[in-house]
Amino acid sequence: MHLISDEQRRIRIGRRHLLAPSVRSESPVAVADAVVALHATDAATVFLSACARLRVPDVGVVEKQLYEDVSLVRLLSMRNTLFVVSDEMAPRVEASNARAVAAKERRTLLKHLAEDGNGLDEQWLAGTEESTLAALAARGSASGSELSAAVPALRTKITVFPGKRQETVQGVASRVIRVLAAEGRIRRDRPRGSWTSSQFRWTASEPRTEQEAGRAQTELALRWLHSYGPASEADLKWWTGWGLGQVRRALTTAGAQEVRLDSGATAWVAPQDHGPDPAPEPWAALLPALDPSAMGWADRGFHLPAEHRALLFDRSGNIGPTVWWNGRIVGGWALRADGEPVWRLLSDTGQDAATAIEAEASRLAGWVGEARITPRFRTPLERELTA
């Protein structure tokens, strides 16, 4: 069995995740494909993750591919989380994950409607959806509040979890829009405000050719292994949210091969992908909260020292902004209220690293400009740095 060392795994991150300067890309689409999917729960993360990997960081280019070319697609998919993937990857992600997520979202909404006890049923939901789509077609693009103003049914309120401790009254507009978006019938358009805003407008979405779920899972697993292998079954299960049976079928049909790690554990790589990648030049990176390179594995011990976790993660397990040196997480960073990047190193990295990190911070400040970014999931170190 081939051995792939932790050092080689870190080399792969630098090269395959387009983080070393010599391998950065010209295209946000290529960036998304390199890491399979960009986390999009926090709107700013998409831009920060993409621009960290672009030769010339450019918010306008990312916006164009998201909202004009639609060569980047937002999907509610893996782990019921919002991601951005390339248009080429979207059908695979939709069939392997997003379709099941959308079905669950619809079942949950129908359950809440039924529990409300006011006769709101599947027929009512279908009529509300058709009215919403018609209103959107008439406008071309609309915010949630504009759609609610145009469609009276969207102003309906329901009691969620009636009779239970968490009972609350909610409007249905955001829930109906979420289901339509999860099913790919509408998509997020440019937000109200800047690129850091999550107050999206909505527009109609073109339907995609459907793929068979099993085949799509195999193709997605193969792409993920190329970007994140070697990785364990547990890593793939965590990243995708699949059951263990689905993970094992996908690995088998993808022809994945077992390798040995420095720890003595076994892991999986894509077929014939057990040879060494050449080391790139030394590199530093300032990556945002929930960046794919930090969120790609359940077990991150090969690039994240255990003693750093308490400062870099929130209580729900979301990682904050991180400082990287040659494939290791060595600290965290934040943007102060005046836009100045500030960071703290948690590992002793030496002067070469300090110089490279300073250069990356300057590069970040240069393209972020007047934007002010506060991560949605705030971590202890990020809070300290901005205090």
Cα distances (Å, whole numbers) of residue 8 to 11, 84, 221, 270: 5, 28, 21, 15
**What confidence score (pLDDT) does residue 69 get?**
94
pTM over 0.75: yes
Neighbours of 282 (CB within 10 A): 14
Closest by Cα among 33, 37, 17, 34 to 83: 37
Q: What distance in Å separates the CA atoms of residue 147 and residue 172, rounded to the nearest whole number?
A: 12
**What confidence score (pLDDT) does residue 325 get?**
98
Q: What distance in Å separates the CA atoms of residue 344 and residue 350, rounded to the nearest whole number?
A: 14
**What confidence score (pLDDT) does residue 171 get?**
92
**Residue 334's beta-bridge partner residues?**
342
**What confidence score (pLDDT) does residue 165 get?**
87
Domain ranges, ordered by start, for the chain: 284-386
Cα distances (Å, whole numbers) of residue 34 to 23, 46, 367: 11, 14, 22
Q: What distance in Å separates the CA atoms of residue 196 and residue 182, rounded to the nearest whole number?
A: 22
Structure tokens at 122: 């599947």
**Residue 362's beta-bridge partner residues?**
none
**What confidence score (pLDDT) does residue 193 get?**
87
Q: What distance in Å separates the CA atoms of residue 4 and residue 38, rounded to the nearest whole number?
A: 26
Cα distances (Å, whole numbers) of residue 59 to 55, 194, 220: 13, 10, 28
Residues of the chain under the 50 pLDDT cut:
none
Element (H, E) at 67: helix 59-67
Element (H, E) at 288: none
Q: What distance in Å separates the CA atoms of residue 261 and residue 2, rounded to the nearest whole number?
A: 9
Closest by Cα among 101, 83, 94, 4 to 36: 83
Q: What distance in Å separates the CA atoms of residue 90 and residue 18, rounded to the nearest whole number?
A: 21
Cα distances (Å, whole numbers) of residue 302 to 145, 213, 299, 368: 46, 32, 8, 31
